[in-house]
Amino acid sequence: MLDDVSLPPLPVRPPQPAPVGHPPALIQAWFDHIVDAVVPQADGSLPTARRAADAYARRAKADNTRRAYRAGVRAWCDWCDRHTLPCLPGRAADVVAFLAAERGRGLSVNTIDLRRAAIRYLHYVAGLPVPTAEAQVTETLAGIHREAADLGQLPVQKLAATASILREILVLIPDDLAGLRDRALILVGFAGALRRSELAAIRVEHCVARERGISLTLPRSKGERAGKAVPVALPYGTTSLCPVRALRRWQDAAGISEGALFRRLYLPPTRREGGAGVRPGLVVGIEALDPGSIARILKLRAAAAGFDPDLVSGHSLKRGALSTGMERGVHPTRLKQLGRHRSYAVLDTYLELGDPFEGHPLNGVF
């Protein structure tokens, strides 16, 4: 959930004056522009330095967050336009009506939270008072959350692809080119507790062979707010779950020695030989898989093993790695380090607690 306290208290100077009081379409276009602001070429001038600082501030937000904010601001501006209401600055009474209307359309609680965060960010970058911080907005959101809980509309917990589940999935993956790629993708994601976006961004030069495995450097990670590169260890193993051996087999089969590590595969056009059409085999592309493709691969491989694909997501590998570590009695501090989480509260959302009767704190007391 994105909330009001996640943003710095002081507004950053926008690269263009905020179109306060202008038509919603203009405000939406202005917001889209500043959210995707490009860092200007340095020329030694103060105005350019200010514009660069503004652009860097926008880049503090992850791509997914910026996309969610754009969608939220677009929905807010469209709604205000239909009802002839001002969207910048917005009023708390209008914000709560908008959130209620969005909930009435069947939007999930998580999406409603993102709508509120988007309106908050719109006012933040415009340097205006934030209407979402007022008590009536907080109360309305609390009521939406409570109503959803009463209706049993709780967030669906995605499958934690633990070691035992991975074995069931992997045993059915063939040793063809696509299978070697997908096996390596799954095992590297599991061993490094990686998000799908982190998997998609891995390049050969990010991987350095060590005596005990591979040292992977993530150029960026969601948990690293300062934007520093993050080291991740991929250790050698002695079982079918060894990520290093799986990765080497994929690289050797695909002939990948530089560039993107996990790539698209495609079928070239059918060629004619002797009057008959011949379909060549899969060819390794040069483009990296995108995060969406990685999620689809996980769903397809899990479904082939009999698991519900709706319960599988890009977070399943990360949840599975952390839950497996917890089952083995690994200290929470090490799990937090493996998951690259900023707090133990965030870590808790990734753990699959399993059987609540197993290891109950009061076992043996009764």
Among residues 150, 184, 208, which one ends one of the domains? Answer: 150
What confidence score (pLDDT) does residue 12 get?
Answer: 40
DSSP class of 203: B
Is residue 174 domain-shared with residue 133, that is, in the same domain? no
**Is residue 158 situated within a structural domain?**
no
Is residue 83 domain-shared with residue 58, that is, in the same domain? yes
- Beta strand 283-288 with 263-266: parallel, antiparallel or unpaired? antiparallel
Is residue 135 domain-shared with residue 69, that is, in the same domain? yes
**Is residue 333 situated within a structural domain?**
yes
**Is residue 133 situated within a structural domain?**
yes
What confidence score (pLDDT) does residue 151 get?
Answer: 83
Is residue 281 domain-shared with residue 334, that is, in the same domain? yes
- CB burial string 319-352: b at 16+ within 10 A, e below: bbbbbbbbbeeeeeeebbebbbbeeeeebeebbb
Distance CA 235, CA 213 (A): 4
Is residue 133 domain-shared with residue 176, that is, in the same domain? no
Distances in Å between the Cα of 312 and the Cα atoms of 86, 158, 165, 169, 315 are: 41, 6, 12, 12, 8
Is residue 25 domain-shared with residue 94, that is, in the same domain? yes
**Is residue 121 situated within a structural domain?**
yes
Among residues 110, 126, 150, which one ends one of the domains? Answer: 150
* Number of folded domains that form the chain: 2
Residue 221: domain span: 163-348
What confidence score (pLDDT) does residue 9 get?
Answer: 38
Q: What are phi and psi of 63, to 5 degrees?
A: -55, -45
Is residue 142 domain-shared with residue 31, that is, in the same domain? yes
Is residue 342 domain-shared with residue 318, that is, in the same domain? yes
Distance of CA 249 to the CA centre of its chain: 28
The alpha carbons of the chain give a radius of gyration, in whole angstroms, of 24
Is residue 317 domain-shared with residue 292, that is, in the same domain? yes
Distances in Å between the Cα of 357 and the Cα atoms of 161, 177, 326, 363 are: 21, 43, 16, 8
CATH number of the domain bearing residue 260: 1.10.443.10
Question: How many C-beta atoms surround the C-beta of residue 234 within 10 A?
Answer: 23
Among residues 89, 120, 150, which one ends one of the domains? Answer: 150
What confidence score (pLDDT) does residue 161 get?
Answer: 87
CATH number of the domain bearing residue 34: 1.10.150.130
Is residue 99 domain-shared with residue 41, that is, in the same domain? yes
Is residue 173 domain-shared with residue 313, that is, in the same domain? yes
Q: What tens-digit pLDDT sequence spans the chain (366 residues)? A: 344 434 443 344 444 677 888 889 999 988 988 887 778 888 888 888 888 887 787 777 777 788 889 999 999 999 999 999 999 999 999 999 999 999 999 898 889 999 999 999 999 888 899 999 899 999 999 999 998 888 877 666 678 888 989 999 999 999 999 999 999 999 999 999 998 989 999 999 999 999 999 999 988 766 555 557 788 999 999 998 999 999 999 999 999 999 999 999 988 776 665 555 555 678 889 999 999 999 999 999 999 999 988 888 878 898 888 888 888 888 888 888 888 877 776 666 666 655 555 665 666 666
Nearest Cα residue to 176 out of 113, 254, 293: 254
**Is residue 155 situated within a structural domain?**
no
**Is residue 357 situated within a structural domain?**
no
Is residue 117 domain-shared with residue 259, that is, in the same domain? no
The answer, as to whether pTM is greater than 0.75, is no
**Is residue 341 situated within a structural domain?**
yes
**Is residue 363 situated within a structural domain?**
no
